[in-house]
């Protein structure tokens, strides 16, 4: 147990003790983390083989790579073309107008020929209108068309006109119909400037298959050559907009802090050097900020701890809390540092083996829930520095979330022995963290057919099981260090071979038997109200240890037939002897370094009750004697356990002294005694509720009835029995 040594050291050093503990903690944790965040000199060159993996020291945009991606994105944009659907109709209209003009000229030429025939003398052949004249007439008509349309007709060669004016009306009609059809077919499609020739060639090929005369086919070719033009033009403005949008849509290429730039054993190439130059890592010292951040985090942890523990009024509790917290956090940091030594790129999740719930769980059970929460939070903060080389990687994110969640789950358990909580502790500490880690694995998109995935899950579950196992296994030993009533100590004190119990059995056998009986009654009753039954039992074993000093002055220890020595003493003298067994007992227990609760129950098991038997005797001698003179020094019971022992002690002694005890008599007596104690104010500070008092009463009645079903008494003199007329007085006497 470290409580008493710490208390002595604290008394000697005063405030310097806590300051020294916190300074030692600060120095140790800072030194432990220093190698992870220390400033290093860096000088990387192209062609150099990396001795260890090089990670980015900050998050920054890779501007060169970003510009390259944007350029590629712009080049990948297809040019935007505008399809002029109305251009097909315009071309068709121009062609139709052309053939209309040709027919008009042919019709006029036909009339002219008729006129010439009339005026020509008989026997002479009339001079017909020539093709050249018709061509000239046609071009004269075309001079009146719009300027925009005129260029279309001007581009048609004379050979076309020579051919069409030589064709018959039927042949001309075929040329017009097929020309319009072929132009329409091609112009209904999008034709870019680069695809005009291809479109014309397709139309030429189809015209060849029409079975027309050579002149007709040639005429159609001339029309197609002018009628089929580009109708889909590059929209430069829209294309440029699309390229700009494509560039803007490209996300910046980032180099994230913690990203591996060069893997261990790899040769540094030009691309890597460019990245290192961008990060400023080729020839300079690493940042000092991580080291500063680590120091500030430690200062913050100490500050929060002090502010939290300032709420504790008891200086001893404050000292124990600070020492225990710092010791547990040192252990936590050491374990994390140890696991970090084995972390590699292939074994990124080794840190998940860390029992993250262990320290928060222990601090919650032995200190308080707030202290557990502080440790859970600062474990995560310290993990950032322990695993600093992994910053920016998904592995660190998973580790931190896992530590935080497991630690917080550790603070959710009940504040009692883990072994007594059963499945509840397993759910909080193992199952819930396991499902969280499973969620994180799914979030990463890991393949469940991969051994690595299952290894990560198994390692994380193993860390949770380790937390629970360590807490369960170490609980008795931690309890031994922190408390004076640990399970180990109480088991030793319960051993009948303990020197004090052996001495009590040898020198005061009646008191020994009485103590054993009170222990059974009290422990059972305390267990019924969920109190500390084991320490209650142990306290009962030793509650009357003070009777060793004057063993024969207590009636239960008198030999058969012996005269009661109090018959030869004045009431005041008897009072001092009876009072003495409480004060002497507490002194003996303190000298033997008994748990404080055992000492307290010894002092409080009679409270300030009235020693009625001797008070009555004194009153007979001196009517002016005050009741206060014959009340025990107290204090009254300060805990539920002490109150139960006080009631059970008086009940056991009185019932044992009863003549022919029956269940009804026992039940009535216990009820009356508890009522008297309540009215006398003996239970005011115990914290017992009326419901708990009823439970205690029922438990004591059952225990007494099952034990005293027949008349059993301590050995005592008949003369005393005859003198004790009222059982309440006898109860008080024997309870003493």
Q: Give the residues across from 234 on adjacent strands.
A: 81
Cα gap 312→331, rounded to integer Å? 24
- CA 189 to chain centroid: 63
pLDDT in tens, 546-601: 988 887 777 776 776 667 777 767 778 778 888 888 899 999 999 998 998 999 99
Cα gap 562→111, rounded to integer Å? 175
Residues in the chain: 736
Give the orientation angle of helix 63-75 with respect to helix 270-279, to 10 degrees. Answer: 120
Residues ≥6 apart with Cβ < 8 Å to 16: none
State phi, psi for 57 to the nearest 5 degrees: -90, -5
Query: pTM value?
Result: 0.60
Alpha helices in 561-708 (DSSP H): 571-591, 596-604, 612-621, 640-656, 663-679, 690-707
Supply angle C-alpha 436, 441, 445, rounded to 5: 140
DSSP E strands in 276-397: the ranges are: 283-285
Nearest to 533 by CA among 520, 543, 542, 545: 520
CB 712 within 8 A of CB 554: no
Rounded to 5, what percent of the chain is helix, strand, coil? 70, 5, 30
Residues ≥6 apart with Cβ < 8 Å to 687: 639, 640
Cα gap 342→315, rounded to integer Å? 42
CB 564 within 8 A of CB 714: no
pLDDT of residue 123: 62
CB 216 within 8 A of CB 175: yes
Q: Give the residues across from 244 on adjacent strands.
A: none
Using CA atoms, how far residue 557 sits from 517, 539, 560, 563, 585, in Å, is 15, 20, 9, 12, 17
Cα gap 545→567, rounded to integer Å? 23
Supply angle C-alpha 161, 167, 213, rounded to 5: 105
pLDDT in tens, 702-728: 999 988 764 444 444 333 334 433 444
pLDDT of residue 280: 65
Give the burial class of 95: count Cβ atoms within 10 A of its Cβ; 0-12 exposed, 13-18 middle, 19 or more buried.
Answer: buried
State phi, psi for 232 to the nearest 5 degrees: -130, 115
Which of the residues in the chain have pLDDT under 70?
A: 1-8, 10-11, 14, 39-43, 51-52, 57, 120-124, 126, 257-258, 280-287, 344-347, 390-393, 446, 557, 560-562, 568, 709-736
Cα gap 53→395, rounded to integer Å? 15
Using CA atoms, how far residue 659 sits from 669, 706, 710, 711, in Å, is 13, 16, 9, 7
Cα gap 419→559, rounded to integer Å? 47
Question: Whole-angstrom distance between the N-terminal and C-terminal Cα of the chain?
Answer: 34
Cα gap 636→683, rounded to integer Å? 7
Give the burial class of 225: count Cβ atoms within 10 A of its Cβ; 0-12 exposed, 13-18 middle, 19 or more buried.
Answer: middle
CA 311, 315, 320, 325 torsion-angle sign: positive
Residues ≥6 apart with Cβ < 8 Å to 660: 711
E strand or H helix at 364: helix 358-366
CB 593 within 8 A of CB 550: no
Supply angle C-alpha 477, 483, 487, rounded to 5: 55
CB 387 within 8 A of CB 403: no
CB 152 within 8 A of CB 226: yes
Nearest to 156 by CA among 135, 171, 134: 135
- CA 101 to chain centroid: 89
CA 457, 259, 382, 303 torsion-angle sign: negative
């Amino acid at each position: 147990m470290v409580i008493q040594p710490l208390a002595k050291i604290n008394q000697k050093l005063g405030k310097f003790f806590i300051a020294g503990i916190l300074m030692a903690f600060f120095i140790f944790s800072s030194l432990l983390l220093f190698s992870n965040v220390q400033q290093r000199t860096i000088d990387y060159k192209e062609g150099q083989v990396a001795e260890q993996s090089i990670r980015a020291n900050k998050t920054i945009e890779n501007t060169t790579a970003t510009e390259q991606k944007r350029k590629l994105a712009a080049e990948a944009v297809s040019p935007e073309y505008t399809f002029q659907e109305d251009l097909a109709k315009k071309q068709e209209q121009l062609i139709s107008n052309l053939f209309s003009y040709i027919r008009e000229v042919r019709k006029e030429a036909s009339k002219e020929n008729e006129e010439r025939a009339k005026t020509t003398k008989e026997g002479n052949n009339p001079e017909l209108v020539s093709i050249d004249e018709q061509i000239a007439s046609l071009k004269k008509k075309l001079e009146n068309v719009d300027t925009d349309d005129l260029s279309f007709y001007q581009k048609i060669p004379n050979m076309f006109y020579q051919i069409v004016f030589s064709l018959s009306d039927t042949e001309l009609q075929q040329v017009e119909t097929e020309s319009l059809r072929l132009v329409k077919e091609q112009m209904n499609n999008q034709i870019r400037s680069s695809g005009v020739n291809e479109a014309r060639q397709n139309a030429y090929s189809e015209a060849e298959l029409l079975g027309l005369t050579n002149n007709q086919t040639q005429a159609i070719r001339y029309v197609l050559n002018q009628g089929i033009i580009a109708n889909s033009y590059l929209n430069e403005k829209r294309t440029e907009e699309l390229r700009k949008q494509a560039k803007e849509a490209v996300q910046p290429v980032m180099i994230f802090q913690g990203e591996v730039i060069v893997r261990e054993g790899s040769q540094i190439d030009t691309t890597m050097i460019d990245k290192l130059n961008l990060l400023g890592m080729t020839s300079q010292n690493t940042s000092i900020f991580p080291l500063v951040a680590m120091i500030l985090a430690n200062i913050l942890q100490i500050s929060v701890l002090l502010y939290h523990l300032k709420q504790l009024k008891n200086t001893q509790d404050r000292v124990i809390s600070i020492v225990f917290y710092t010791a547990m956090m040192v252990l936590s940091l050491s374990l994390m540092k140890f696991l970090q030594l084995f972390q590699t790129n292939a074994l990124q999740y080794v840190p998940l083996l860390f029992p993250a719930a262990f320290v928060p769980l222990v601090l919650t059970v032995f200190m308080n829930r707030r202290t557990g929460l502080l440790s859970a939070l600062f474990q995560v903060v310290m993990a950032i520095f322990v695993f600093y080389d992994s910053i920016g990687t998904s592995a660190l994110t998973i580790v931190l979330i896992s530590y935080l969640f497991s630690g917080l789950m550790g603070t959710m358990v009940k504040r009692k022995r883990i072994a007594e909580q059963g499945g509840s502790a397993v759910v909080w500490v193992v199952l819930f963290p396991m499902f969280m880690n499973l969620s994180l694995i799914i979030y990463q998109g890991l393949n469940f057919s991969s051994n690595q995935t299952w290894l990560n899950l198994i390692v994380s579950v193993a860390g949770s099981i380790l937390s629970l196992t360590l807490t369960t296994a170490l609980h008795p030993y931690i309890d031994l260090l922190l408390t004076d009533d640990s399970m180990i100590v109480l088991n030793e004190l319960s051993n009948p071979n303990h020197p004090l119990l052996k001495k009590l059995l040898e020198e005061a056998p009646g008191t020994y038997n009485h103590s054993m009986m009170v222990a059974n009654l009290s422990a059972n009753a305390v267990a019924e109200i969920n109190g500390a039954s084991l320490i209650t039992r142990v306290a009962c074993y030793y509650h009357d240890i003070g009777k060793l000093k004057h063993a024969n002055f207590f009636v239960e220890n008198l030999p058969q037939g012996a005269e009661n020595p109090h018959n030869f003493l004045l009431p005041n003298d008897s009072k001092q002897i009876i009072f003495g067994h409480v004060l002497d007992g507490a002194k003996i227990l303190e000298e033997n370094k008994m748990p404080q609760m055992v000492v307290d129950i010894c002092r409080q098991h009679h409270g300030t009750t009235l020693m009625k038997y001797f008070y009555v005797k004194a009153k007979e001698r001196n009517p002016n004697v005050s009741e206060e003179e014959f009340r025990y020094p107290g204090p009254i019971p300060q805990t539920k356990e002490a109150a139960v022992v006080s009631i059970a002690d008086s009940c056991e002694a009185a019932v044992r002294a009863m003549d022919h005890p029956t269940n009804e008599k026992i039940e009535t007596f216990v009820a009356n005694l508890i009522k008297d104690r309540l009215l006398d104010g003996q239970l005011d500070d115990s914290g017992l509720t009326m419901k708990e008092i009823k439970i205690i009463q029922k438990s004591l009645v059952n225990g007494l009835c099952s034990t005293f079903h027949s008349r059993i008494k301590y050995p005592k003199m008949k003369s005393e029995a005859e003198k004790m007329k009222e059982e309440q007085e006898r109860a008080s006497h024997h309870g003493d």
